């Protein structure tokens, strides 16, 4: 296809992804396709070198980005950083387990669990304080 069409599509997608204060959509290039992923469908984000792995109900997608750049664009009311390399969507957390004194494990609805390390605990405590009885 010609370059003009590609440029128009790219500009449209860029407008879609930055429409609000936080990301609503992520666009992932796979060969000749561009996958549109709604951010609220992401269960968790994991750093993998120069990429991040985005886990969804349908599987996973690799995106060339850093965990810090993604974290800055995600709504902190929904996404919480639990350790150096992982951000979780609070809507998909099943439970928190006490793991060691001062440390928890976050168990996701699908069974996957992550260490919730000390340095990131205040994020979760702030979230729980505002939203639970």
> For the segment 21-42, what is each residue's pLDDT rounded down to a tens digit?
888 888 888 888 888 899 999 9
As to burial, measured by CB atoms within 10 angstroms (0-12 exposed, 13-18 middle, 19+ buried), residue 130 is exposed
- The residue behind tokens 């974290």 is 71
Q: Is the pLDDT at 7 greater than 80, yes or no?
A: no
Rounded to whole angstroms, the Cα distance separating 97 from 107 reads 7
Instruction: Kindly give the residue spans of alpha helices, DSSP state H, lying in the chain.
Output: 3-17, 67-73, 121-131
Q: What are phi and psi of 2, to 5 degrees?
A: -80, 160
Q: How far apart are CA 29 and CA 111, in angstroms?
A: 28
CA–CA separation, 43 and 93 (whole Å): 9
- Over residues 43-56, the mean pLDDT reads 95
**Any residues with CB less than 8 A from the CB of 73 and at least 6 apart, and which?**
22, 23
Among 35-39, 89-93, 124-128, where is mean pLDDT lowest? 124-128
- Residue 33: how many CB atoms within 10 A of its CB? 7
Say which residue the tokens 């800055």 belong to. Answer: 72
pLDDT: which is higher, 10 or 60: 60
Q: Does residue 116 carry a pLDDT above 90?
A: no
Is residue 59 within 8 Å of 34, Cβ to Cβ? no
């Amino acid at each position: 296809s010609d370059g003009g069409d590609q440029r128009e599509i790219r500009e449209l997608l860029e407008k879609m992804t930055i429409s609000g204060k936080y990301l609503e959509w992520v666009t992932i290039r796979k060969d000749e396709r561009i996958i549109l992923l709604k951010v609220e469908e992401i269960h968790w984000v994991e750093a993998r070198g120069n990429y991040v792995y985005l886990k969804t109900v349908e599987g996973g997608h690799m995106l060339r980005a850093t965990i810090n750049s993604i974290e800055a664009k995600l709504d902190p009311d929904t996404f919480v950083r639990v350790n150096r390399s992982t951000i979780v969507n609070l809507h998909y957390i099943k439970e928190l387990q006490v793991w060691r004194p001062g440390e928890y494990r976050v168990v996701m609805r699908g069974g996957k669990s992550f260490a919730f390390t000390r340095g990131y605990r205040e994020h979760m405590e702030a979230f729980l304080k505002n939203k639970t009885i």
